[in-house]
Amino acid sequence: MFEVLVDHIEKKVHLTEPEKELIRPLFMARKLRKKQYLLQASEVCTHLTFVAKGLLRSYNVDDKGNEHINQFAWEGWWISDFYSFLTQEEALFNIDAMEETEVLMISRHDYEELTLKVPAMDRYFRILYQNSLVTKDRRLMSSTTHTAEEKYLQFAKRYAPILGRIPQHLIASYLGLAPETISRIRRKRMTKDAG
């Protein structure tokens, strides 16, 4: 399980054996059942989480009780309420497991230590965040410039490998659409493909 993490890191930076040995004890393994919370809004997010297996989502709940999904994280992704993790203020997001999931977690303190002791990890996270920023920029742009249909089609393309693992109403929630809207888009496409 730790190997999944090391493999992921070594795709971006080189680690020496002693560095790997230093890293290992900083992570805590944990299993989550389907629907189990990893974090609830108004708690403090104490750990950064790496997904070794399974699927998680982060989401916030608005005044009217509607859920808005912020991120899906599956094998090889990191997830957290970054704001809360960095400031140690109350989290705004909930994170829970959509499947049986196995994760590796590192605490705020150990994360600081890790980046200070292993400069390659500063570099790893720098590259990781860099890529993440590109994704967020794209998503933000899509949210203002695209129609519901364009958003859905783009999502279906980008998330093709795990599309089957995400129920439609959660895709809707991620895209800021009503589930009915996704349903209608799909129907329209079906009939168009047939004709």
The site for DNA (CB under 7 A) is made up of: 64, 66, 147-149, 167-169, 176-184, 186-187
User: Is residue 130 close enough to count as binding a copy of itself by CB under 8 A?
Assistant: yes
Q: Is 36 in the site for a copy of itself (CB under 8 A)?
A: no
User: Shortest approach of a copy of itself to residue 129 CB, angstroms?
Assistant: 4
**Hey, is 2 helix, strand or coil?**
helix
Q: Which is nearer to DNA, 67 or 110 (CB)?
A: 67
Which residues, 6+ apart, have CB-to-CB distance to 93 below 8 Å?
A: 39, 41, 58, 59, 60, 70, 81, 84
When asked if residue 115 is in the footprint of a copy of itself (CB under 8 A), the reply is yes
Among the listed ranges 3-11, 32-40, 95-103, 133-141, the one in contact with a copy of itself (CB under 8 A) is: 133-141
Task: Check residue 90 for interaction with a copy of itself (CB under 8 A).
Answer: no
Residue 46 binds to a copy of itself (criterion: CB under 8 A):
no
Q: What angle do CA 84, 114, 59 make, to 5 degrees?
A: 25
For residue 30, the surrounding DSSP H or E stretch is strand 28-32
Told to check if 133 binds a copy of itself by CB under 8 A, we report yes
Residue 18 near a copy of itself by CB under 8 A? no
Question: Is the Cβ of residue 52 or residue 114 nearer to a copy of itself in the bound state?
Answer: 114
Query: Does residue 162 bind a copy of itself (CB under 8 A)?
Result: no
Contact 44, 90 (CB under 8 A): yes
What is residue 36's DSSP assignment? -
- The only residue of 42, 88, 143, 168 in contact with a copy of itself, by rule CB under 8 A: 143
At residue 93, φ and ψ (nearest 5 deg) are -105, 150
Q: How many CA atoms lie within 13 A of 156 on its CB side?
A: 11
Q: Which residues, in sequence order, are CB contacts of 11 under 8 Å at separation 6+? A: none
List residues binding a copy of itself (CB under 8 A): 60, 62, 66, 68, 70, 82-83, 86, 92, 115, 119, 122-123, 125-126, 129-134, 136-141, 143-145, 176
